[in-house]
Amino acid sequence: MENNNPVGGKAELANANQPKEGSRASSRNLADKLEEKLSAAEVVPGDDPSVVRSAADPLASSNPFVVFVLGGPGCGKGTNCARISKDFGFVHLSTGDLLRDEVKKGSEIGREAKAIMEQGLLLDDSIVLRLLKKAMTAAVVEGKESKFLVDGYPRSLEQAHMFEKEICPVSLVLYFDASDAAMTERILERGKTSGRVDDNIETIGKRLRTFHDCTEPAVKFYSRLGKLRRVPADGTLDDVYSLAQHVFQPAAIEAVHDLNLFEKKRDPFLPLCGGRDKLSVVFVLGGPGCGKGTNCSRISQDFGYVHLSTGDLLREEVARGSPIGLEAKAIMEQGGLIGDDIVLKLLEQAMINAISEGKGTRFLIDGYP
């Protein structure tokens, strides 16, 4: 069961990064000081690795793979994150734990954050983001894999957008979908031993309403993007984890990497088609012999889509004897696999050519990812 017991049993730490509500004007001076300390912090090899280097950005160069872990209070996020971290090598970052650690250490940052929360005020989102980036950068500097489970953030769609703007894009969103009844039962059971002042029936309803009102829009947003992985979470711990761990199997993660690489490659030809809202891409998936090619041809003819088959594109380059074709042929003759970078170059050029030739801005991509 999750244990997010705040230092000293104060509920404010557990809820410090809840979505903005009410006035924060009186906390501005303290918040500004705290942000200055985070901005000035620096990692130097041999020094405290928990501080962020300002002179360079090792996090960005590590191409991080970030998974938001969402779910209501008592859904099992913390417990499952701990198991995923152990089994699949992810770095588990709990925003509540990061804040509590700073307060417990009595660091300058921790003292400033504690002062804000003891006034009953909420920490600015920018402060929580800086703490997350600090922890992520420290993990990279320490040589850990740049794979992160972010637990406890975002709690709203606005916070999700801020993370992607200020830190990095999100690769996946893992959503533990538990019923209100199951979450209520777990929180009450946890409250018998947790010592948390907010693990009681009076506040559970409010916490659940906050989750539904503020976090569910983020769940729906990432579902529309195809990045959401929903895990039914009413069962036992082992049952829930057996479902969650499928998301992190190597083949599943590799498919996400392919999608992320494709997203990064779209920008060069967006101006050609009049912007992102004019470009439409459909991935066509299915096993060998399922009829992808045949159906793509008919869809292309009937609905005006440009059909791009990665297999056909590769064969054409090899037949033409182009530099990419010669490189691909050499790899295949050695029994190797064609790298994603080659396939993406071919797709990018084919899409640019199609748009430039006026064939359209709607594509069926067959054979990738």
pLDDT tens, N- to C-terminus, the chain (369 residues) = 444 433 344 444 444 455 544 444 444 455 455 455 555 444 433 344 434 433 457 888 888 999 999 999 999 999 999 999 999 999 999 988 898 888 888 887 788 878 877 776 667 787 788 889 999 999 999 999 899 999 989 988 889 989 998 899 899 999 999 999 999 999 888 877 776 666 678 788 888 998 899 898 999 888 877 789 999 999 999 999 999 999 998 877 777 776 666 665 555 444 444 544 467 889 999 888 999 999 999 999 999 999 999 989 999 988 888 878 888 888 888 887 788 878 888 888 888 778 767 788 889 999 888
Residue 288, preceding bond cis, omega within 30 degrees?
no
Strand partners, 147: 65
Residue 353 lies in a domain: yes
Task: Judge whether 171 and 67 are in contact, CB under 8 Å.
Answer: yes
Residues 289 and 251 in one domain: no
Residues 198 and 161 in one domain: yes
Cα Rg of the chain (Å, integer): 24
Give me 201's structure tokens: 């029936």
CA atoms within 13 A on the CB side of 162: 19
Residue 1 lies in a domain: no
Question: How many structural domains does the chain have?
Answer: 2
Strand partners, 151: 69, 94
Segments forming the whole domain that contains residue 72: 58-264
Return the residue matching tokens 């637990």.
Answer: 151
Residues 298 and 239 in one domain: no
Greatest alpha-carbon pair distance for the chain in Å reads 72
Residues 203 and 286 in one domain: no
CATH of the domain at 299: 3.40.50.300
Residues 259 and 295 in one domain: no
Residues 191 and 166 in one domain: yes
CA distance 333 to 311: 16
Closest CA to 58 of 147, 140, 165: 140
Residues 310 and 182 in one domain: no
Q: Give strand ranges (E) for the chain.
A: 65-71, 91-94, 147-151, 172-177, 228-232, 280-284, 306-309, 362-366
Residues 101 and 217 in one domain: yes
Residue 214 lies in a domain: yes
Residue 274 lies in a domain: no
Give me 365's structure tokens: 């991509």
What is the strand order of the sheet 228-232 is part of?
91-94, 147-151, 65-71, 172-177, 228-232
In three-state secondary structure terms, 91 is strand
Q: How far is CA 54 from CA 16, 51, 144, in A?
A: 25, 9, 19
Residue 26 lies in a domain: no
Read off the pLDDT of residues 146-157 as tens digits, 9 standing for 90 and up.
999 999 899 888
Residues 81 and 167 in one domain: yes
Residue 159 lies in a domain: yes
Cβ neighbors of 209 (< 8 A, separation 6 or more) are none
CA atoms within 13 A on the CB side of 61: 5
